[in-house]
Amino acid sequence: MSQSTEDCAKVILEVAPLVMRAIRTEMRRHRGPELSVPQFRILTYLNRNEGASLSQAAEHIGLALPTMSKMIEGAVSRGLASRLAHPSDRRRVALSLTAEGRKTLDRARRATEAQMTSWLQRLSDGEKRTVLEAMRILGPVFSAPPGGA
Amino acid sequence: MSQSTEDCAKVILEVAPLVMRAIRTEMRRHRGPELSVPQFRILTYLNRNEGASLSQAAEHIGLALPTMSKMIEGAVSRGLASRLAHPSDRRRVALSLTAEGRKTLDRARRATEAQMTSWLQRLSDGEKRTVLEAMRILGPVFSAPPGGA
DNA sequence: TATTGTTATACTCTATAACTATA
DNA sequence: TATAGTTATAGAGTATAACAATA
């Protein structure tokens, strides 16, 4: 009966990489100053978490600290993010998006969503409802870094 | 009305990377001779497509030819795959899994599925049904390399 | 001593360009 | 000339270990 958990697992393991491949390819395809998936995720996080520290960002996104340090270095040098000293604790750093970063994020998001929308157009309304609901179910399952479980 | 296509797109763009992060982390975690996601996908492909050529494999998995060549080189040197000359066309190569490769693939798949199963255990039967159905809807949408669309 | 970041180093995945061998 | 694959090279993303600066 509850054996369907395993079917579920199998099918996610099969389908998730296909979806990500499409997203990655699409993001890479925009010629011009576009974003990789990890860059996109970092900018998205900063957009919602003005003033976050490196550690906080790394923790949330699931990257090691030096990795995040390097990624941010790249974003700063491209003018997409700023990295200021925290006023009261000089070890820390306060990250935020620049106006340019916000603009780039928005452009990338819109382009990728538009492409994704076109892929999904062949779905019936019922199918779309099912997919939407499933994603809302899976989000919470996977957004708390499941490393701990 | 059919505006839900865009919601769908948004939510996939948000959730898919979370799922993949969990899968990647899990696959990396098995200490011992385990597999990265791309390696896993290649072995899976070879398991179902005995005797495939490099070009075929690259095309199906969505990698450039030299990338696939290098990945296969790695798998061969680890004893997981074999790369034989095609009998009638000596430019081509016939790829397959070794017994060891099949064993490794099986072990990795089982371990990752088991972990995934444990993550999904908190879902109700109805939620699992929804997720299962959604994955079966998304599979076909994304498995024809959507670069063409 | 503990925390926050950065630097050094290395490995995997990925691509494009140039090349070799076969057809 | 065209196709299948490999080699050379480069760049992104990732990690661990060692370090520096601040608390």
- How much is the pTM? 0.91
Q: Residue A148 domain-assigned?
A: no
Contact between residue B15 and residue A138 where contact means Cβ atoms under 8 Å apart: yes
Nearest to B36 by CA among B11, B84, B70, B64: B70
- Report the percentage of chain A scoring pLDDT > 90: 82
Report the pLDDT value the prediction gives residue A28, as an integer from 0 to 100: 79
Mutate to test the interface with B, among A36, A42, A141 (most CBs of B within 10 A): A141
Give the H/E segment covering residue B83: strand B81-85
How many structural domains comprise chain B? 1
Q: Residue B148 domain-assigned?
A: no
Looking up residue B27, the CATH number of its domain turns out to be 1.10.10.10
Nearest to A43 by CA among A75, A21, A85, A69: A75
Tens-place pLDDT, residues B105-141: 999 999 999 999 999 999 999 999 999 999 999 999 9
DSSP H helices, chain A, are 4-29, 37-48, 54-61, 65-77, 99-120, 125-143
Q: How many CB atoms lie within 10 A of CB B11?
A: 19
Q: Which pLDDT band, with edges at 50, 70 and 90, does A127 fall under?
A: very high
pLDDT, average across residues A27-53: 89
Contact between residue A128 and residue B5 where contact means Cβ atoms under 8 Å apart: yes
Give the phi and the psi of residue B82 in degrees, each rounded to 5: -120, 150
Report the pLDDT value the prediction gives residue A86, as an integer from 0 to 100: 93
Question: Does the nearest atom of strand D lie within 7 Å of B38's Cβ?
Answer: no
Q: Residue A73 domain-assigned?
A: yes
Tell whether A111 lies on the interface with B, counting CB pairs under 8 A.
no
CB contacts of B6 in chain A (<8 Å) are: 113, 117
Contact between residue A64 and residue A18 where contact means Cβ atoms under 8 Å apart: no
Report the pLDDT value the prediction gives residue B146, as an integer from 0 to 100: 65
Contact between residue A13 and residue B113 where contact means Cβ atoms under 8 Å apart: yes
Q: Strand C: which nucleotides have any atom within 7 A of a protein Cβ?
A: 3-9, 12-18, 21-23
Beta bridge partners of B96: B82
Q: Which pLDDT band, with edges at 50, 70 and 90, does A27 fall under?
A: confident
Tens-place pLDDT, residues B70-99: 999 999 999 999 999 999 999 999 999 999
pLDDT, average across residues A114-124: 94
Host domain of residue B123? 4-143
Distances (CA, A) of B79 to B58, B66, B68, B141: 20, 20, 16, 34
Give the phi and the psi of residue B114 in degrees, each rounded to 5: -65, -45
